[in-house]
Amino acid sequence: MTAAANGPSVDARRVIADLRELERRTGGPGGARRVAWGAQWREARAFVGELLAEIGIEPERDAAGNVWAYLAGEAEPALGVGSHIDSVPGGGWLDGALGVMAGLGVLRGWAGAGAPPPRSLALVDFADEEGARFGRSLLGSSALSGSLDPDGLTDLRDAEGRSLVDALGENGIDPARMSEATARAAGIAAFLELHIEQGPVLEAEGLAVAAVRGCAGVERYRVGFSGQASHAGTTPMDARRDAGLAAAEAALSVERIAAEHGGVGTVGAVSLSPGIATAVAGEAQMVVDLRHPDAPELAAMLAATRAAADAAASERGCEWRSQPVWSIEPIPFDARLVEAATEASRRAGGRSEPLVSGALHDAAEVARVAPTAMMFCASARGLSHAPEEDTDEGDLVRAIEAFGELANGALSSDWPRT
């Protein structure tokens, strides 16, 4: 075994071999098929169980369906490592799985080190991170953090009309008891997650790895415009109340506002009514998604978007209204761990400044209850949630090894409870 400065290094080639075997068992040409609560997901978890059995560890499952595997060390509480083994339908081989297998690699390294780690290790595979089937993302990790409202789950159904409550029941989970998973939080001193970037920044910079300083906040609104539907041939241009053009104007403003504030803004859905070639649109509906890592900037983006919608509507004699769809505040990670992750990234030849995650991850939920940070590994072409998702194998090796060093450093640090 090779030893890093502060503990055993992770066998990155073995981690990649485990990921390839997982892909062979639960993926294929159409992509990963590990949708939470289904047979392929259970098969993936059984494979993780086999790998843990090899190092003499029997996993436990909490009341929310998260799987935990502990390696006893010289101090408690444990350093948590992990991610999620579930995938979207037709997903990639690395999203979530990389963090679970790399975390398992950390446990494997210490299990074979001949001495216990300075602090216990807890590997966690969070249940239903993707929300792919029932639309509720971060399910297991939000049960851990206490932000899950079990009453909000009762109405959730999949595309076939089957309820989440039934799917939970098939997996031996009682929704009324899911909040008991919060008890595990006290057993976590700090938490680290390795994940693919799922975006193009690292690849464009020619870098393999980066620290992540937090997850961006999100404001998502449905915005409607009402004008007057009228004949496309007989209504003069200056006599129109075109709701479609008001929406188009507002959508272009979202792009400008995102650039001005250094955030991202998306109008990913637009519909016009009556939606025919021969009528001016009387109604337009769009969904605006605004993201920024800084709460005041996010609030300013939302205010500017409202002002732009108001101006676009009045310019064309239309009314407008908005309805909140979903929002989450920006979640900064622990400053000490982010600094340690940045150091680990630099040493691995990665990015010297942390990135912000525009996507949400389990780590964002864990950050509510324990010091947390993430590392990102480059994504080929920035693609994810697609069968084409991939990462150069050399980049994977660098990221997995850097993650192992970060974990070893965190194992020998004090994490006082606040």
Stretch (H or E) spanning 34: none
Using the contact rule CB under 5 A, the part of the chain among 53-61, 91-99, 160-168, 224-232 near Zn ion is 91-99
Query: By CB under 5 A, what part of segment 96-155 binds Zn ion?
Result: 96
* Residue nearest to Zn ion according to CB distances in the complex: 96
Residue closer to Zn ion (CB basis): 193 or 249? 193
Distance CA 129, CA 271 (A): 29
Candidates 11, 18, 62, 95: give the one binding Zn ion (CB under 5 A): 95
Using the contact rule CB under 5 A, the part of the chain among 43-51, 87-95, 207-215, 257-265 near Zn ion is 87-95
Residue closer to Zn ion (CB basis): 95 or 283? 95
- Minimum distance, C-beta of residue 105 to Zn ion, in the bound complex (Å): 18
Contact (CB, 8 A) for 256 and 216: no
Residue closer to Zn ion (CB basis): 100 or 248? 100
- Minimum distance, C-beta of residue 246 to Zn ion, in the bound complex (Å): 37
Using the contact rule CB under 5 A, the part of the chain among 68-76, 92-100, 238-246, 402-410 near Zn ion is 92-100
Contact (CB, 8 A) for 37 and 128: yes
Closest listed residue to residue 208, CA positions, set 289, 98, 127, 86: 98
- Minimum distance, C-beta of residue 250 to Zn ion, in the bound complex (Å): 31
Question: Helix/strand/coil (H, E, C) string of 198-212?
Answer: CCCHHHHHCCCEEEE
Helix (H, G, I), strand (E, B) or coil at 12: helix
Number of residues that bind Zn ion (CB under 5 A): 2
Residue closer to Zn ion (CB basis): 8 or 91? 91
**Secondary structure (DSSP) of 90-142:** TB-SSTTHHHHHHHHHHHHHHHTSSS--SS-EEEEE-S-SS-TTTS--SHHHH
Residue closer to Zn ion (CB basis): 215 or 302? 215
Residue closer to Zn ion (CB basis): 96 or 175? 96
Q: Is the peptide bond before 77 cis (omega within 30 degrees of 0)?
A: yes
Contacts of 342 (CB under 8 A, 6+ apart): 211, 352, 353, 354
Using the contact rule CB under 5 A, the part of the chain among 88-96, 185-193, 209-217, 293-301 near Zn ion is 88-96
- Minimum distance, C-beta of residue 96 to Zn ion, in the bound complex (Å): 4
What is the DSSP secondary structure assignment for residue 240, as one 8-state letter?
-
**Site of interaction with Zn ion (CB under 5 A):** 95-96
